[in-house]
Copies of this chain bind each other. A is one copy, B any other.
Amino acid sequence: MTVTGTARRSRISPEREAELHEAVLELLREVGYEALTMDAVAARTKSSKATLYRQWGSKPELVARALRCAQPVSLRDIDTGSLRGDLRRMVELSDDGQMAKDTALMRGLAQAVHSSPELHLALRQLLMEPEITGLGVMLQRAVDRGEVASDNPAVRFVPHMLIGAFIALPLMEDRSVDRAFLGDFIDSVVFPALGV
């Protein structure tokens, strides 16, 4: 199983694409993943199902791309010249209200992931892996600049630290991550572990 789709994605305008993605997220919040149908998306967006399938291939892919489109921060786009600056920028670009909404949405999806391996794969390939890759590039720049020792064993665990914190906090304290928590966590855990 692979997720493709870059080639076919040029057929509609970026504005129209953003509109469709927003409609998908709306529906997702309203009815949940299981009950979301391509018919409902077609009706809501006044487009044909053929267009949806041509553009996104499948429901899991459509949902994963819609979520990715809604992300306020893409780590690949951050490059301030220092690792401290890069991670601070990541926190600055995050939005408390958005993170709370995302946590609710991701909780619902965590449930759907159990019954749909296709959704799990699409979320991993389209949502998680690009950010993990972006984080890897960010960390490699820090190593290249001499900010982090190239053999520092914590480097490979930075994604686990960040993704873990995002999931552990709601589970432990029933609240979603906000900028204050994220900033504290990075200052208290990530930087010391990296020796920055």
Task: Report which A residues bind B (CB closer than 8 A).
Answer: 107-108, 110-111, 114, 124, 128, 132, 153-154, 156-157, 159-161, 163-169, 171-172, 184-185, 187-189, 192-193, 195
Contact = CB atoms under 8 A, between A and B. Distances in A.
Q: Which of A153, A157, A169 has the most CB of B within 10 A?
A: A157
Given A114-B111, A195-B192, A185 B168 contact: no
A193 B156 CA distance: 15
By DSSP majority rule, is chain A's interface helix, strand, loop, or mixed? helix
Contacts of A195: 192
Contacts of A164: 160-161, 163-168
Contacts of A159: 168, 172
A126 to B, nearest CB: 14
